[in-house]
Amino acid sequence: MCSATPSRPAHRRLRARWANALQRDLVARERGLTSTDREGGRVYGEDKARSIARRLWSVGDEAVEFLPGGLVNANFKVTVGDGACYVVRVFSEGSELLPIDHGGEAHRTSIAASLGIGPEVVADLTDEGAIVLEYIEGAPIPRAEMVKPEMLRRVAATLVKLHNGPAIGSPEDTPSGAVKWLWDLAQPDAEEAAALEWARSIAERGEAVLSERMDLCRSCHNDLVPGNFLDDGDIRIIDWEAAAMGDPRSDLANLAVHYDFTVEHVRDLVGFYYGRSDEHTVAIVRLAEFALALCEVLFGMAQRRLSSLEADFGAWIESNMRCLRSINEDPIEHWFEVLSKG
């Protein structure tokens, strides 16, 4: 039996990983934004990526192509002479907000690769602030495709494989548990705090329920945003820096929030994952979804206060507020009632 309470070191890692996942989700939602800093016309990490490419494959600078979309990492596609492609992922030096720890990313990615889910690790250059990965030629999976029953079946089967696979890290917190430290990070003003008090109260009730029912025993990805899924004939998942031990239902909730699932989509996902859909499991996923949406609202507030990105954080916060309101109007009290009966 696994403990449902992460250790203090694991909890500190949780903070970095959750916030990192939410940062990258922001990029996926804010079309046209890139995460990288440009200095003197160069993309952050470009010189390092070119140097690594020259050393590993003896290629020129023209072989290195920037891949937009990361917020705390800069990703570069390298095409070598035989046509093979790789990704050089250059870690940021961190930020004042988040001391991101990439130390175990190569190991976590290797575990995912051994399951046929993640990319192969070509070179672990963590000491140099980078990692080199297999480039996966796959099609992204937009929401319109993800909610189709056949796609949900395939994705559920992939997540089952992951969740039943080797241990991938340390225990994480429950989604509701993460609200507590994100509230401190966001530092909402009096008006914002008052507007969010109803959601915070529900999340606290949810934490009391979820902490008794979630067991942090299975390998979870924890960052199931649209940009991290690829379909190359198999369902592949990239970006494993947030992976850790958790409850599979939290990963299902993560997917549901980031793809804006309705309750019927959640029922379908649960049904494909477990072989049958029961309201008890759906209730746990819905309460976890609510907490995750609140986490994103709070992180958006923190980004609006601290980030140098020119982004409409207000619109992003409001989109997640709509998610909170939608789940609340489900109504959320129904899910508390379901769980109170067993």
Question: Which amino acid is residue 318, in one-letter code?
Answer: E
Contact between 118 and 134 under an 8 Å Cβ cutoff? The reply is: no
Within a domain: residue 116?
yes
SS3 label, residue 236: strand
Please tell me whether residues 152 and 66 are part of one structural domain. no
| Same domain flag for 130 and 168 | no
Domain-located, residue 212: yes
Cβ-in-10-Å burial (0-12, 13-18, 19+) of 307 comes to: middle
Residues 280 and 225 in one domain: yes
Q: What is the pLDDT of residue 2?
A: 59
What is the Cβ-side half-sphere exposure of residue 221, based on CA atoms within 13 angstroms?
28
Q: Give a yes or no: residue 181 inside a domain.
A: yes
In this structure, the answer to whether residues 154 and 16 fall within a common structural domain is yes
Q: Per the domain annotation, does 203 fall within a domain? A: yes
pLDDT score at 181: 82
- The confidence score (pLDDT) of residue 28 equals 41
Q: Which of 330, 158, 165 is nearest to 261 (CA)?
A: 330
**Backbone angle region of 241, left / alpha / beta, with phi > 0 → left and psi within -120 to 50 → alpha:** alpha
Together in a domain, 113 and 153? no
Q: Give residue 311's pLDDT.
A: 56
How far is Cα of residue 146 from the mean position of the Cα atoms in its chain? 16
Residue 217 inside a domain? The answer is yes
What are the C-alpha distances in Å from 307 to residues 35, 208, 299, 300? 11, 32, 11, 10
126 lies in the same domain as 151:
no
Q: Can you tell me the distance from the alpha carbon of 54 to that of 225, in angstroms, rounded to the nearest whole number?
A: 32
Residue 99 is predicted with a pLDDT of 38
Residues 335 and 283 in one domain: yes
Between vectors from CA 251 to CA 245 and to CA 256, what angle results, nearest 5°? 170
Asked if residues 63 and 57 have their Cβ atoms less than 8 Å apart, the reply is yes
- Count of the separate structural domains present in the chain: 2
**Gap between the Cα atoms of 118 and 147, Å rounded:** 22
Contacting residues for 106 by C-beta, under 8 A, at least 6 apart = 121, 124, 126, 131
* CATH code of 45's domain: 3.30.200.20
Give the position of tokens 């976590």: 108
Q: Are residues 184 and 223 in the same domain?
A: yes
Q: Are 218 and 85 in the same domain?
A: no
Residues 112 and 184 placed together within one structural domain of the fold: no
Domain housing 320? 8-31+140-340
pLDDT of amino acid 11: 41
CATH number of the domain at 235, please. Answer: 3.90.1200.10
Q: Which of 94, 120, 137 is the last residue of a domain?
A: 137
Nearest in space to 111 (alpha carbons), one of 169, 172, 160, 171? 169
Q: Are residues 56 and 200 in the same domain?
A: no
Query: Residue 72: what pLDDT?
Result: 61
* Domain closes at, from 71, 103, 137: 137
- pLDDT score of 175: 73
- Is 1 a domain residue? no
Same domain, residue pair 146 and 248: yes
Q: What is the pLDDT of residue 103?
A: 79
Ranges of residues in the chain whose predicted pLDDT is under 50: 1, 3-19, 21-40, 94-99, 308-310
Boundary of a domain, candidates 137, 154, 176: 137
Residue 3 lies in a domain: no
Q: How many residues does the chain have?
A: 342
The b-or-e profile of 135-165 (16+ CB within 10 A means b, else e) is: bbeeeebeeebbbeeebbebbbebbbebbee
Quick check: is 176 in a domain? yes
